[in-house]
Amino acid sequence: MASLKQGQKPAGIDVPRKIQQPVPSPAPLAPKPLISEQPHQFKMPSASMGQAQKTGPLPQSKEEKLRSIPPAPPIRQEKTQIYAPPSSPTGEMSGVRNRLFMLIAGAVVLAGVFYWFLVLKMPVNDLEETPTPTPTATPIVDLNSIFSGSLITEVTLGPGSSVDTFNQEISADLAVEGEFRRLHTKRESTTESILPTALTLLDVLNNFGVSYPEGFGTGIAISGLDSAVFSYGQKEIFNKDGSLNLDSPLSRRLILIAEIQDVSSFSQVMRTWEPDLLAEFEDIFGFKRSAGDFLDTTYRGTSIRYNNFPYPDLSIDYSFVGINGKIYFVISNSRESMFSTIDKLLGF
């Protein structure tokens, strides 16, 4: 302890370390081969092995016995996974060849589908002569077909006929609400191409001496003769105070329709004719003149010019209705008859 305090090596008794010399292990005995190197041949134990057993082994310690045992050949450790036998090169080549054949077959089928759509299907009409369909007659839509179910009222129309007689014959038929009755003339003639049985708009105006502008006559499609005159069963009747008369009997109104060629120019003709229109239609429509001006309104998208006397149950209404590529000029003497005519032409 005194030496340690002074920083010196402590003095003590040196105890020599006993070093144990390693015992040389005896050379392992070469084991005798039990099985010959030749495959598939087995030999029975020879008598020499019996001779080796006569002399007992030298006494050895347990450790030496363990060392004297010859090392066993390495044992192949099997994996715990499921064993799958390796495929032979021939099997792999066969699988690749099968997949290649499937890809080629799929490409051929796909190419065939494209060829059918792009080459065979498209030019069928050019390569093969298809049967020509039998043309069917397109039904003609005109006033005769639109008002095909209308009844007929015959009226006297000629040099000696008057407006009063004309209106009396119209009103003679029992009025039915919303009914259209087409007017035919009683006058007989051998030249039906000049004087058709059914009345036209110009037949009525010419017979009663209505003076219309030059553009009015030329604007009507006279060549087609698509024109008609109707009486209409009027329900809407107003009292003098403007209230609706629910007890009033039905009465007749007059509707004149004609196909026109140019709606733009014909509309300008009608605007110019409006100041004299009241005087010209006073007798035919049966109203007293009014100092009011024409006003604008619309019904089902169709523009209407009108003038009431003084209420819409007796008025002048005119409009232009387009249907099936045709334009019809319509003039009537009540709001209800004008609305009903537009409904009829448009298919409502």
Q: What is the pLDDT of residues 94-146, one digit of tens each?
A: 677 778 878 888 888 888 777 776 766 555 454 455 667 666 666 678 898 99
10 Å Cβ neighbour count for 97?
Answer: 10
Q: Does the residue 334 lie in any domain?
A: yes
State the Cα–Cα distance between residues 291 and 229, nearest whole angstrom.
28
Least confident of 134-148, 285-299, 317-331: 134-148
Rounded to two decimals, the pTM is: 0.59
Instruction: Report if residue 52 sits inside a domain.
Output: no
Confidence band, pLDDT 50/70/90 cuts, at residue 83: very low
Tally the domains of the chain. Answer: 1
Q: How confident is the model at residue 253 (pLDDT cuts 50, 70, 90)?
A: very high
Residue 278, pLDDT above cutoff 80: yes
Does a structural domain hold residue 292?
yes
Task: Over range 190-209, report the average pLDDT.
Answer: 75
Is 11 contained in some domain? no
- Give yes or no for residue 215 having a pLDDT over 80: yes
Residue 151 lies in a domain: yes
Tell me the residue range of the domain where 160 lies: 143-346
Contact 216, 202 (CB under 8 A): no
Cβ atoms of residues 9 and 3 within 8 Å: yes
Cβ atoms 213, 226 nearer than 8 A: no
What value does the CA radius of gyration of the chain take, rounded to a whole number of Å?
Answer: 61
Using CA atoms, how far apart are residues 146 and 140, in angstroms rounded to an integer? 10
Mean pLDDT, range 257-273, rounded to an integer? 93
Q: What percent of the chain has pLDDT over 90?
A: 29
Q: Is 293 domain-assigned?
A: yes
Q: What is the pLDDT of residue 193?
A: 47
Task: Please report whether residue 43 resides in a domain.
Answer: no
Instruction: Give me the pLDDT at residue 315, please.
Output: 93
Look at residue 211 and tell me whether its pLDDT is greater than 80.
yes
Whole-angstrom distance between the N-terminal and C-terminal Cα of the chain?
Answer: 132
